[in-house]
Structure 1
């Protein structure tokens, strides 16, 4: 069996390839560099068998163990919760990051994938971004946010249908309005309960509550944008740079030119988080009306001849930089009209 040689922060490294039904587990015992492999079911019975198997090689599933797995959404959840309850270090890495570190590979095999993840974790363990209690809160917030989006979509769909029917056929419109009255009230009540539960989760997490308060200290930034940013940035642990966050949201400008013959307009990339971009647009529209800093900035730039949409995009960019700045600094935002 092939052995690895490398200084290690952990006594045991476990690479796990996760699917809906099973776990492919590769253990690296760092004391001698030995690799071991086994397959288990992705359920509590499988976790117990995995625990016994790891114990046979000296791994007690404690703080000296690092579990690394690709972030595959729901399929990782049960295992992560099980490991967190035992205070095991858990590293959820993006599949693209692991794939790029490996280089060109051919074919796909779960056993090989587990070994590749284990080797990746072994070589890069000093850069591991570990799951903490705030990550679990963000997980709950993400579920509630997805549920809120579905409820909002259903509510808007019904209201739009009723409104359109009222405009072309008043009698049929009133009938639709009457039969959908309870459905609309029910959806609105569910939306209210979801938002209340999201607020409760934030209040219960000291770290997230602090960041939430910092972000919402900026005039115009409300609950929806603050929570969405917390979810997608993992509590600002993934994107601590304003430029990167602006790029992720699709509001960072990029030049389009090559040599002397290709020279296009500076624009934003289409590769972006569409949900965040939509929310940012709505917030920027509100900001240029009620936030005096952005109101003056927008007015001045438009008077200089800048296109309104271009200025609005710049407002969104500035807003994101302000958000990142207050989170990094750890103090609420202070309005400074003379700097706009």
Structure 2
């Protein structure tokens, strides 16, 4: 989760170029613009040496320091945790955003990249979106979510193979069913434990728990969709608009036409988060069964002659807009049958 930078301007800015084994650190003094560079190992001992070096330069590496770095996946994780634990303000910026601000560049040099990041942060520090401790929780939820997806795929693969074999060769199918029984039970148990651990992380984070409760107040939104939305929207700090979120999930309809000769059907884009779209689709399917207002809407539109998939896509959009509304409002969803 991210939050706007504190009104107090930082005294020092760190531009860090992160690689698998090393950190190129550029320290910029906000008072005079002076920049110093040093290289450290990307591990706990390297972080300690970096802190000692910063202290020699007069930087205490606390609230007065803003650290800017590019998203580089797992390689930034240890450093981010180390800095957040010491109250350093951490700004994770898109590499593309930094490159676009600089203009055309040639070559690649870690030292120069660190200087460019520091210069970018110095110029755009008022636009900084800093990580909060909830960002660490979301990071762990994302890892658990990915693990849950892998377990589901393994379960589906085993069960589908057994089911198909039982239909064409019952003897071999029963043999596979027998030898894989423990494996299937083990995978199902692991999935349950992963889901329990996800709930525990949410319970420990007050802000995430508040938003999770708001999401699940919308009938049809279960724990899987709620956690997925929290992870992919960074706790609803990245996409606070229903239309943008619908585009990201691949359920926003777009026209396809040009002039008077090209008149294609209105449809959704293929550029989408397919995993989130699948979870949202399952939630919409449940909603038209158990959410009375969406069920009424679905039946009415289908009765008017609309295709079921088209109406179901509209239900997915309505679910997303309901979700965004409760998060913005900060109060649980209230059922009103005259909504539609």
Name the TM tier (shorter chain). Answer: over 0.9
Residue 162, structure 1, aligned to residue 162, structure 2? yes
Q: Is the 8 A contact 1:8 1:122 kept in 2?
A: no
Shift of 1:174: 0.6
- Matching of residue 172 in structure 1 with residue 153 in structure 2: no
Question: How many angstroms apart in 1 are the aligned matches of 2:91 and 2:57?
Answer: 21
Residue equivalent to 1:225:
225
Q: Once structures 1 and 2 are overlaid, which stretch shifts more, 236-245 or 92-101? A: 92-101
Q: SS of the residue aligned with 1:302?
A: helix
Measure the CA separation in 2 of the matches of 1:331 and 1:276: 24
Matched residue, 1:293: 293
Contact 1:8-1:30 within 8 A present in 2 as well: no
Alignment deviations for residues 81-140 of structure 1 (CA, whole Å, 9 cap, x no partner):
111111111111222222232233232222222122112211111121111111111111
**Aligned residue number for residue 106 of structure 1:** 106
Instruction: Give the distance between the partners of 2:72 and 2:55, measured in 1 at CA.
Output: 26
Judge which range, 315-324 or 290-299, deviates more: 290-299
Q: What residue number does 1:122 align with?
A: 122
Name the stretch that deviates more: 31-40 or 180-189. 31-40
Classify the secondary structure of the residue corresponding to 2:17. Answer: strand
The corresponding residue for 2:90 is 90
Q: Which residue of 1 aligns with 2:142?
A: 142
Deviation string 1:30-76 (CA, Å, 9 cap, x unpaired) is 11111111211101111112112222221111110000111212111
Residue matched to 1:3: none
Q: How much has 1:319 moved relative to structure 2?
A: 0.6
Provide the residue aligned with 2:198 in structure 1: 198
Query: What corresponds to 1:244 in structure 2?
Result: 244
Q: How far apart, CA to CA, are the structure 1 residues paired with 2:125 and 2:202?
A: 30
Query: The residue matched to 2:68 in structure 1 has which SS?
Result: strand
TM-score relative to the length of structure 1: 0.95
**Cα pair distance change 1:258/1:332, threshold 3 Å:** same
Change in CA separation of 1:106 and 1:258 when aligned onto 2, cut-off 3 Å: farther
* CA distance in 2 between partners of 1:257 and 1:123 (Å): 42
2:51 and 2:197 map into 1 onto residues whose CA distance is 35
In terms of mean alpha carbon deviation, does 8-17 or 57-66 score higher?
8-17
Number of equivalenced pairs: 334
1:14 aligns to what SS in structure 2?
strand
What is the aligned partner in structure 1 of residue 186 from structure 2? 186
- Residue 65 of structure 1 corresponds to 65
Residue of structure 2 equivalent to 1:37: 37
**Secondary structure of residue in 1 paired with 2:130:** coil
Q: Name the structure 2 match of 1:270.
A: 270
Could you say which structure has the greater relative contact order, defined with CA pairs below 8 angstroms and 6 or more residues apart? 2
Give how far 1:8 is off. 8.4
Corresponding residue number in structure 1 for 2:209:
209
SS at match of 1:337: coil
- Confirm or deny: 8 A CA contact 1:250 1:277 kept in the other structure: yes
The SS at the match of 1:66 is strand
How far does the alpha carbon of each residue in 1:158-208 deviate from its partner, in whole angstroms, 9 at most, with x for none? 111111111110000110011001101111111111101111111111110
Q: Structure 1 stretches of 5 or more lacking a match?
A: 1-6
Contact 1:246–1:252, Cα closer than 8 Å, also in 2 = yes
Q: Which moved more, 1:165-174 or 1:306-315?
A: 306-315
**1:74 alignment partner in structure 2:** 74
Say what the alpha-carbon RMSD is for the aligned residues: 1.4
Q: Using a 3 Å threshold, how does the CA distance of structure 1 residues 302 and 139 change in structure 2: closer, same or farther?
A: same
Give unpaired runs (5+ residues) of structure 2: 1-6
SS in 1 for 2:338: helix
